[in-house]
Structure 1
Amino acid sequence: MNEEINELLSIYKQEKELIESLIESDKIDNDYKAIYLNSKILVNIQRQIRLIESLLDPHAQEKEQLKRTIDFYVNRGGFQKDNDYQKHILEQIDQKLDQLNSYKPAYFDDGQEFDDAIFDLAEQRIKGFIFNLKKEEKLFLLFERNEKEILLSITNVKRLKKKYILDKTTRNALKFIGFKEEKHIDSFVFNYNLDHFKDAIFIKTIVSRVIFDAFHFQNLDNKTTIEFF
């Protein structure tokens, strides 16, 4: 699965380089309108790159921070060999890095039905569907489509908060994955741009992160179900 996501990441990075080169040309031409428009495009591409990188390695930023701390102590003259406290700190950092490097994201595989549902939605053969995570609690992912995007939503946020299904830790995890809390519709929403859509891999990765990283597969249905509308 990572191969497909890496391929998508490569596409976005190529687009980023192209837009950056266009912005440089716009600056030479003093074309401020083009600079503004291309800068907006660049921001969106950079956001997608950060999202994909976090899908490939959710702990990438934390690992980089730990590596910078090691660099500060070891390579920039901050480390003192006879300082037991610094040795202890570095040992803790090494242990934490080992722990983070051993992390392997889990993926769900719900078979061909889910893939078919995503394709049918992308090609507008259906209006949408519900992917039940815990049906009796009405915890599900709602899949819909607008003109350019597939929307993944967790609805009834207020009710799920009251039932402690959507606690603060889970909500923060959803935000880290890329969901935004839309309070006016009582939902968390993830917008997936269809520009590079060719299969369900990316969306299945998002769903996997929701199941395993946000809800930790705790008390979810052992067998997920799909309801079309």
Structure 2
Amino acid sequence: MKSDLDELIAELEFEKQLIQKSIDDCVKDEDYLNAHHNYQARNKLNRELETLYKLRDPLYFEKEHILRILDMYKYSSLRMGRFDDRFLSENRQKSIRDEEEKLNRLNQQKYTYYDGQEIDNALFDLYKGKLAGFKLYINQQENIYFEFSLNNHQNLLISIDASVEAQQYMAAKSPLLFFKTKGFKINEVNNKLNYLYDKPFKDATTIKELLAQIIFKLYNASIQAPFIELIYPDHLNSIG
């Protein structure tokens, strides 16, 4: 059974095929203005698809890069044909084998995208004011979690412990540097890494993509039936 994410990707891929057909028809009819508009629509759709593919598989771009290199090598071999130099041909074949091995190693890394609604529901409740915040645990036993809250401007703030003790559970050699490349900034006062999401909140896709990349890269894990601790506002905690 396909997940919601798979269904959405399939729908957008079908829409992309229709747009491509429109582009081809416009070019055939020399209707270049509409071809240009359709081309822009296809580019926008491609960006949306890339986001979804990366959400489903954090290694998506790395795999695509290798596939492009392999296509380049194979196209070069076909183009050279019988004029291909033996030394260059052998080197090219070695390069192809090396890239294929890289791709195989990436494909062997197990990653499962969790397409549940727990994170979505918690985020929507946070923005609606039903929650004061929530914690998404990566490792309950070691008390490692992302903490979500809204700042005074109602922008989403995601925090995680940046202490030396917390870093020992991270798989990356330079975890703080990796966090910084993702937009996190360190707060020296409370020793936490903070990420500010100050865009209009429509759905949890972007946030879940960010979390999936970090959890996969730094903890060699994936979001599997996450444990979430909900933090209610004081006035709700006092009820009942």
TM-score by length of 1: 0.57
In structure 2, stretches of 5+ residues that fail to align are: 13-46, 233-240
* 1:173 shift after superposition: 5.2
Does residue 141 of structure 2 align to residue 107 of structure 1? Answer: no
Q: Match for residue 210 of structure 2?
A: 206
SS in structure 1 at match of 2:220: coil
Q: Match for residue 157 of structure 1?
A: 163
Q: Match for residue 227 of structure 2?
A: 224
* 1:159 shift after superposition: 3.1
Structure 1 2/80 Cα, relative in aligned 2: closer, same or farther at 3 Å? Answer: farther
SS in structure 1 at match of 2:114: coil
Structure 1 56/106 Cα, relative in aligned 2: closer, same or farther at 3 Å? Answer: closer
Single out whichever of 128-137 and 206-215 deviates more from structure 2. Answer: 206-215
Matched pairs, number: 186
Which of these residues, 176, 179, 200, is aligned with residue 195 of structure 1? 200
Q: Match for residue 123 of structure 2?
A: 118
The answer (yes or no) to whether the contact 2:156–2:198 under 8 Å persists in 1 is yes
The answer (yes or no) to whether the contact 2:172–2:217 under 8 Å persists in 1 is no
What is the correspondence of 1:164-179 to structure 2 with a 5 Å cutoff? 164-166=168-170, 168-169=172-173, 171=175, 174-175=179-180, 178-179=182-183
The answer (yes or no) to whether the contact 1:130–1:227 under 8 Å persists in 2 is yes
Once residues 197 and 11 of structure 2 are traced to their aligned partners in structure 1, the CA distance between those partners, rounded to angstroms, is 16
Which of these residues, 99, 118, 121, is aligned with residue 93 of structure 1? 99
Does residue 133 of structure 2 align to residue 133 of structure 1? Answer: no
In structure 1, stretches of 5+ residues that fail to align are: 9-47
Q: Deviations 1:31-63 (Å, cap 9, x if unpaired)?
A: xxxxxxxxxxxxxxxxx98x9374355335434
The answer (yes or no) to whether the contact 1:154–1:189 under 8 Å persists in 2 is yes
Once residues 57 and 211 of structure 1 are traced to their aligned partners in structure 2, the CA distance between those partners, rounded to angstroms, is 12
Q: Match for residue 16 of structure 1?
A: none
Q: What's the RMSD between the two structures over aligned residues? A: 4.4
For the pair shown, the structure with the greater C-alpha radius of gyration is: 2
Q: Which amino acid aligns with 1:71?
A: M
TM-score by length of 2: 0.55
Q: Match for residue 18 of structure 1?
A: none
* 1:208 shift after superposition: 3.3
Identity %: 21
What is the correspondence of 1:13-162 to structure 2 with a 5 Å cutoff? 52=51, 54-55=54-55, 57-63=57-63, 65-66=65-66, 67-68=68-69, 71=72, 74-75=75-76, 80-82=85-87, 83-97=89-103, 100=106, 105-108=111-114, 112=118, 114-146=119-151, 147=153, 149-161=155-167
* 1:6 shift after superposition: 9.7
Q: Deviations 1:66-96 (Å, cap 9, x if unpaired)?
A: 434762685386x634543331121221343
Structure 1 56/170 Cα, relative in aligned 2: closer, same or farther at 3 Å? Answer: farther
Once residues 201 and 135 of structure 2 are traced to their aligned partners in structure 1, the CA distance between those partners, rounded to angstroms, is 23
Structure 1 134/91 Cα, relative in aligned 2: closer, same or farther at 3 Å? Answer: closer
The answer (yes or no) to whether the contact 1:179–1:188 under 8 Å persists in 2 is no
